[in-house]
Amino acid sequence: MVPCKTELMVRIPKISKMEKNISALLLNSYTPLTTIRPTIAGMVPVGGMHIYPPSPLPDDIRKFLDEAKDGVIYFSLGSNVQSKDMPADKMKIFLQVFGEMKQRVLWKFENESILNKPNNIMIKSWLPQSDILAHENIKVFITHGGLLGTQEGVHHAVPMLGMPIYCDQHLNMKKAVLGGYAINLHFQSITEEVLKNSLEELLYNPIYRNNIEKISQIFKDRPISARDMAMYWIEYVIRYRGANHLRSAGRDLKWFEFYLLDVITVCTHEYISNT
């Protein structure tokens, strides 16, 4: 027997209607990696909930990091921007500068090999980023400034060299620079001199390490872990059958009411009438 139409085609509410039914909102942010802003009871910051205690590294990577007496520079542009697509002139700059450094370089690179790769560089198409950043020999994290990556860098207290490409990456790195634990570069303007000077500043000026250790301590100082906080509020909403008492009355306002345009209109009209 074919199920009735209502069982096969459950009507899903419009997004605009679903938004008004939100009781709790899990925010992928946490002090001090976000700006201070007013919140309501159902807005729960859980930034960093994706970070787990470090797992053992693959043997070849662990050996490469353990034996780096001068430390390691970790380089990853995330998954949306791939290092293998880097323009040839920029690739030459990075290889030249890395080859001149006494530190080793662990680079997330999507091809099997790099032509004329210096001996101090190890490349891998995929790397367990958070586990690597937890290693004591990681001295600098070269990043595109993605939200999850910057949270991992702060959690493990690794100074960052940012090269944001788009979207929130610019804001994330601006916040990191203001926090005193990162240097930000414009990718298109990178030269050998700029790259080398920036890396050496992060490596040898202790203020960056000192600043990020302080920020890391604040980021991790919570009454309960981010995952436990998220689970608590998910279960809380379920336990109280939607937790209507958490919902703001503002959800039912028209857009012009929300932005007080009706009030502004009345005030403006009164002002014009009396002048």
Concatenated DSSP letters for 156-171? TT--EEE---STTHHH
| Contacts of residue 203, Cβ cutoff 8 Å, sequence gap at least 6 | 71, 103, 139, 140
Domain co-membership, 111 together with 169: yes
The closest of 124, 141, 154, 137 to 216, measured between CA atoms, is 154
Residues 201 and 229 in one domain: no
Where in the sequence is the domain holding 188, given as residue range(s)? Answer: 59-207
86/185 same-domain check: yes
Question: Are 184 and 269 contained in the same domain?
Answer: no
CB 77, CB 83: distance < 8 Å:
yes
Does 40 map to a domain? yes
pLDDT on residue 274: 85
Alpha-helix residue ranges (DSSP H) falling in 134-274:
147-155, 169-178, 192-204, 206-220, 226-239, 255-258, 261-273
Among candidate residues 148, 179, 207, the one where a domain is terminated: 207
Model pLDDT, residue 2: 53
Let me know if residue 3 belongs to a domain: no
Residue 33 lies in a domain: yes
Amino acid 251: pLDDT: 81
Q: Is 97:120 a contact under the CB 8 Å cutoff?
A: no
Last residue of a domain, one of 173, 207, 241: 207
Q: What is the pLDDT of residues 22-79, one digit of tens each?
A: 899 999 999 899 888 888 889 999 999 999 999 999 999 999 999 999 999 999 998 8
What residue ranges of the chain have pLDDT lower than 50?
Answer: 1
- Residue 49: predicted pLDDT: 97
| Same domain flag for 240 and 183 | no
Residue 108: C-alpha distances to residues 15, 91, 142, 178, 190 (Å) = 38, 13, 10, 27, 19
Asked if residue 169 is part of any domain, the answer here is: yes
Asked whether residue 53 is assigned to any structural domain, the reply reads no
Count of domains observed in the chain: 2
Task: Answer yes or no: do 71 and 119 share one domain.
Answer: yes
Pairwise CA distance, residues 166 & 233, whole Å: 32
What CA–CA distances, in Å, run from 77 to 143, 156, 162, 246? 5, 18, 10, 39
11 Cβ contact list (under 8 Å, min separation 6): none
Task: Answer yes or no: do 247 and 189 share one domain.
Answer: no
Considering the domain architecture, whether residues 67 and 187 belong to the same structural domain is answered as yes
Residues 151 and 183 in one domain: yes
CB 180 within 8 A of CB 63: no
CA dihedral 15, 151, 117, 101 (to 10 degrees): 150
Looking at residue 37, its pLDDT comes to: 86
Structure tokens at 55: 């797992």
42 and 140 in a single domain? The answer is no
State both tokens at 113. 């090999």
**What sign does the dihedral 228-233-236-237 (CA atoms) show?**
negative
Supply the CATH number for residue 88's domain: 3.40.50.2000
Residue 12 placed within a domain: no
Say if 137 falls within a structural domain. yes
pLDDT of residue 6: 59
- Tokens 């790099």 belong to 114
Q: Are residues 65 and 193 in the same domain?
A: yes
**C-beta of residue 33 within 8 angstroms of C-beta of residue 154:** yes
Element (H, E) at 43: strand 43-45
Q: Considering 207, 235, 254, which residue would you say is the last residue of a domain?
A: 207
pTM of the model: 0.88
Residue 175: inside a domain, yes or no?
A: yes
Residues 66 and 39 in one domain: no
The DSSP bridge pattern shows strands 121-124 and 43-45 to be unpaired
